[in-house]
Each structure stands twice: as structure tokens, then as C-alpha cells.
Structure 1
Amino acid sequence: MAKRSFHDGPGPSQRQLRVGELVRRTLSDVLMRGDIHDPELQSMSITVGEVRVSPDLKVATVYVVPLGGKGQDVVVKLLARNAGELRRAVSKNLTLKFAPELRFRLDETFDKLDETRRLFSQDDVQRDLDDD
């Protein structure tokens, strides 16, 4: 499943990018420190790869992956279950009128990177690259 933009325009605004990065850093810190009161979530190491914010800044789609890739089926459910607490933690660091609703998705970027590396390591691809 490919990541999709919230609109068909030229891309996110500077404000969307700034808010997305602030939400990403804040969530990473909260998860790293174990500030959430869910023991299952505290026991996992989660990487927050990217946060995409809607143009109205009311929805933030958070792309995550568990460290080592294990527990992918569980991590999104755990985060969704704790979305309210995570939203409150994020809102403390934002200077926005409203804290964005957090929606969690599995970040498949790392899987695509592994597949790309595998393709580049094939003999026929290496041969074609060496011809250049």
C-alpha cells in the first residue's frame, strides 16, 4: 500500500511539513521514554519514520515500524488503542489551536528499501551497471 497525499495539489505546505516533523519528534520522544501507561506498548521499540499532516492540520497520519520488524501486526493496534494519551502528550509540545487526530499506519518504506537492495545485487543488474 503506497503512502498517499491528503490532496492532489503540488505537495505539503511548509507549515504541514513543520507540524509533521514536530509531531514525529514528539511521538518518538514519548515512545522512547515510555511515557504511555500501556505495559505492552512500553515493552516495544518503535520507529516513527514519518508524519503527514492534512492541510487543515487536524489529522496526522503517523507511519511507524517496530524495531527489527517484529510485531508489525500488533504495533498499529497498540498505538491506535493509546491514541488519546499520545495525542495529549503531543499537544503539550504544539502551539496549535487543536492537537491533530493521530492515525497510525505501518511504514513500508524499509521493506521497499530491502527489495531495492535485493534487485541491485542480482548478477544481471550488476552486469548492466558495470557496462556504464
Structure 2
Amino acid sequence: MSKTRSSEPRGPSQRQLRVGELIRRSLSELLTRGDLHEPELSGMSITVGEVRATPDLKRATCFVLPLGGGDEETMLAALRRAKPEIRFLLARNMKLKHAPDLKFEIDRTFDRMDETRRLLSDEKVRRDVEADDIAPDDAGPDGAEGDAG
């Protein structure tokens, strides 16, 4: 009997997570030290929030954000221009035979966190959540209210 594969999407493998974190750390160090020859990146503070590697490790998406609310489009354009140099330095620093192709995107994690916080602070949502938390505990083991006493 052959093994059936689930059609459900799986999360990233341990290897993908490990490589993504190595790239994130190395990229952060490169940007902090100012090792790149791209003039627009020299005075810019950039946070690398996450790096997601594809299962074959040939591509990696780097989620970045300028600190202090800098110009996101200028930062992305500068990172894209510096991509060949970044790949070369990452391969050398991480001792990789082949550095993955990098894609840079704006990290929207903080925006999503703010939106979630805003929703949870809404009075109607708060009442609904509190009602859901209270309702199951009020019923006894047989579904009746209170103790059988």
C-alpha cells in the first residue's frame, strides 16, 4: 500500500526555518555594519523581521522595515540594487555553496498587530469574547445550571 500525501499545506521544515534564521542574522549584520556599497543604504537603519526560505532553499523572501519610519520604497529599491552584492556576501559569510535568490518585501507584522489590538479593544468584540469565555463554564456536567446539591 502506498503512502498518501495530505493535500493540506504544511508549515516550513526545520531546515527552511534554520536557513531563514541564518540569512536573517547575516543580513542584519551586513546592514548594521554598512558592508554594502549602495550609498542609499549607508545612512539607513533597517530591521530584518523574518526571512522565509522556499522548500528547495533556492529563494528566500526577506521581510524588512526601515527604522524610524523611513521611506519604504527608497529602501526596497536600494536593497534590490544591492541584491547581487548581498547574495555574494551572504554566501561567503554563511559558507553556502549557493546563496538563495533574495526577494525583499515590506514587513507588515506591526501593522497587523496594531489592527488586531484595535479590534480587540473594540467594545462589541470585547463583549463577544467575554461571552464566549463565560458561557461554557456556567453549565454543569449534565448541561444544567448550578450544582445538583
Same fold (TM over 0.5): yes
CA RMSD between the two structures: 1.7
- For residue 69 of structure 1, give the secondary structure of its aligned residue in structure 2: coil
Equivalent position SS for 1:60: strand
Q: Secondary structure at the match of 1:111?
A: helix
- For residues 115 and 9 of structure 1, the distance between their equivalents in structure 2, rounded to whole angstroms, comes to 26
Which residue of structure 2 lines up, in the alignment, with residue 45 of structure 1?
45
Q: Report the CA distance between 1:109 and its aligned residue.
A: 1.1
Q: In 2, distance between residues paired with 1:31 and 1:12?
A: 26
* Match runs of 1:25-44 below 5 Å: 25-44=25-44
Match of 2:138 in 1: none
Q: CA deviation at 1:93?
A: 2.2
Deviations 1:78-112 (A, max 9, x none): 10010011111111122332111111111111111
> Cα distance, 1:58 vs. partner?
1.2
- Structure 2: distance between partners of 1:95 and 1:40: 27
Question: How many aligned positions are there?
Answer: 125
Q: Name the CA distance, whole Å, in 2 between partners of 1:80 and 1:123.
A: 44
- The alignment status of 1:105 with 2:105, answered yes or no, reads yes
For residues 130 and 54 of structure 1, what CA distance do their matches in structure 2 show?
40
Instruction: Give me the identity figure in percent.
Output: 56
Q: Tell me, which stretches of 5 or more residues in structure 1 are unaligned?
A: 1-7
Shift of residue 127 of structure 1?
Answer: 4.1
Task: State the SS of the aligned residue for 1:103.
Answer: strand
Between 1 and 2, higher relative CO (CA 8 Å, sep ≥ 6) is seen in: 1
The TM-score, its normalising length taken from structure 2, stands at: 0.75
Distance across 2 between alignment mates of 1:70 and 1:113: 20
CA drift at 1:116: 1.1
Q: TM-score, normalised by structure 1?
A: 0.84
Give the number of the structure whose alpha-carbon radius of gyration is greater. 2
